[in-house]
Amino acid sequence: MTLLCHRGMAQNDLRLWYTQPASNWNEALPIGNGRLAAMVFGKHTTEQIQLNEETIWTGSPHNNINSNMQQVVPELRNLLFEKKYDAAQKLSLEKMKASQNGMSYQPAGDLLIYMSGHEVASDYSRELDISTAITTTSYTVSGVKFFRETFADFGGNTIIVKIYANEPGVVNCNAWLRIPHEKAVTKINKDDKYLLGEATPKSQEGIESKIKYSIVVKPVLEGGRIVYSDQEVAIRHADAVTFYISIASNFTDYKTLSDSNPLTKALADIQIGMSQPYSVLKAKHTSQYQQFFNRVYLNLGTTDAAKLPTDQRIKNFNSSHDPQLVSLYFQFGRYLLISSSQAGNQPANLQGKWNDKTNPPWDSKYTININTEMNYWPSEITSLSELSEPLFKMVKELSQSGKEAAQKIYGARGWVTHHNTDLWRITGPVDGGFYGIWPMGGAWLCRHIWEHYLYTGDKAFLNEFYPVLREAALFYSDVLTEEPEHKWLVVAPSMSPENSYMQYAVDSTKKQSVSITAGATMDNQLVFELFSTVIRAAAILQTDKLFADTIRLKRDRLPPMQIGKHGQLQEWMYDWDKQNDKHRHISHLYGLHPSNQISPFHTPELFAAARTTLESRGDLSTGWSMGWKVNF
């Protein structure tokens, strides 16, 4: 195996390619430049370019704090310490309800391009070349070869689609916009010759949506003519047509919406995109993208399996030897992060930046009890360090909005956020008392700040973000509570993300699972790591010795990791693990990865217990747990 960092090194066949168009959204090919994103279907009859812009969300500036929770938290702690777990869960379900559960990331719309007379096509191929970040569709109709290139310009603020053929004057198509929101407007501006789409997403959970956005599509012809009707453009007998797409909203930051018209910004972006020849834009796009992508080259070898289309390779993977598919998969992960997270923009959300639904799964929010962090695991280790900047910006913003949650819910200093947030940086619990009472999201996000410092040695960065780390630690310093049995300091109430340890009967036909707890193993690991990070950072920066000493004493009183009756690493403070538990989260293995608190050399007993946990939860031959892979 070869893993090299080398700017400009040639890559081996880094293409996802297929011999048929996408039949649904999941089969389409993703492109993005950090802010804009699209899914390209590659249909030869009516092409569909599904469009996203990162700031199109429901809602408007707000936080979801319910200050009535503050009087409930001490009661929950008492019930937990009295081991009245069912009563604690009941109370949390009744009283620990936020004002709302977060807003939804929204699609912008679709550009549809009908290719007249292309119903029957042969020699079809579509591909995404992740070494250049360009999709290509090609096919033959009546002996004429047609081509389509699409990319999200890394050098600008447009998505570009070019259609051409190997003969002149044969490109005939109609193009229009489709927007999935109520009261959306699509029309043609005949004076300035562009397609326009405008919309505001619907309100959600009582929060009025105030995001307004505009899509502008400008066709530029080589030969032929163009006809504008009320809602679509018709291209006739062109040698080629290039569609320039821009999208802009009135979003300024999580607290502010602009008074300016997003159409003005979208038109300005179009003009910049059109100011240079297509060939120059394409070359600049690829060059800028490759500044990131070409830093890492992974060679695991190649077999004849690599000659097959990507869908066939995936289907055959368990029965064939295809090491190059593994390296393609590795690089595809890097491609997605590069395409969805660029400096100055929003971080990658639950679906990166790609979403076609007005009611997406889990709202396509930032799920910060694992998913957001997983998005950024490739950042430092695969030489994409700068791409974490949007994440760090979000953490800094959460450290501000999270002060309200700390004070109004827990009566504490510092800042806290729970297991979900959104564009507006909400910090209260989401999804109620079973899933939402997990005040640890900020602690996990802080790990990425420290890891960035470890990889870069950037002391100025550490100094800038030290207040974020310190205020997160200050919250836990305030809320850690002595539990009565062992006199350990624990976080309570909390949970082990999305898992439960017992049930109680609600009535004769229904049972309720219990998640709420005190001193969950993952909580202890997170607080231990955060306190250790702040202690080390304070020493490096030669500051804050008194606070470092304070949290050092509290760190020493955290519950230790424990080995249970099945030889497993305990998920909770008590030995409640079910031997046949197959829950998708294995949160208590945070101490193994990414936190490195468990080592085969320094803590061999805990390492063996972690292995036992993995064996009981899944197949060690694949080793997947919580979305990550561990090799023993």
Q: What is the pLDDT of residues 479-496, one digit of tens each?
A: 999 999 999 999 999 999
**What is the greatest pairwise CA distance in the chain?**
83
Q: How many DSSP H helices and E strands does the chain contain?
A: 15, 28
Question: Is residue 6 scored above 60 in pLDDT?
Answer: no
CA gap 348, 376 in Å, rounded: 8
Instruction: Specify the pairing of strand 29-32 against strand 134-141.
Output: unpaired
DSSP code of 531? H
Identify the pLDDT of residue 600. 96
Do residues 490 and 524 touch, judged by C-beta distance below 8 A?
yes
Q: Is the pLDDT assigned to residue 301 strictly greater than 90? A: yes
Count CB atoms within 10 A of the CB of residue 259. Answer: 7
What is the distance between the alpha carbons of residues 529 and 523, in angstroms, rounded to a whole number? 10
pLDDT at 549 > cutoff 60: yes
The CA distance from 70 to 407, in Å, is 9
Collapsed DSSP state (helix, strand, coil) of residue 206: coil
Q: What is the mean pLDDT of residues 374-378?
A: 96
Q: What are phi and psi of 426, to 5 degrees?
A: -65, 150
Q: What DSSP letter does each residue of 434-495 carry, written as one string?
A: HHS--TTHHHHHHHHHHHHHHHH--HHHHHHHHHHHHHHHHHHHHH-EE-TTT--EE--SB-
Given a cut of 50, whether residue 629 has pLDDT beyond it is no
The per-residue b/e assignment along 543-556, b for 16 or more CB within 10 angstroms, e otherwise, is ebeebbebbeeebe
pLDDT level of residue 623 (50, 70, 90 thresholds):
very low
Encode pLDDT of 322-344 as tens digits. 999 999 999 999 999 999 999 99
Whole-model pTM over 0.85: yes
pLDDT for residue 264 is more than 70: yes
Rounded distance between C-alpha atoms, residue 259 and residue 246, angstroms: 19
- Please, what is the average pLDDT of the chain? 94
Distance, in Å, from the CA atom of 226 to the CA atom of 232, rounded to the nearest integer, reads: 10
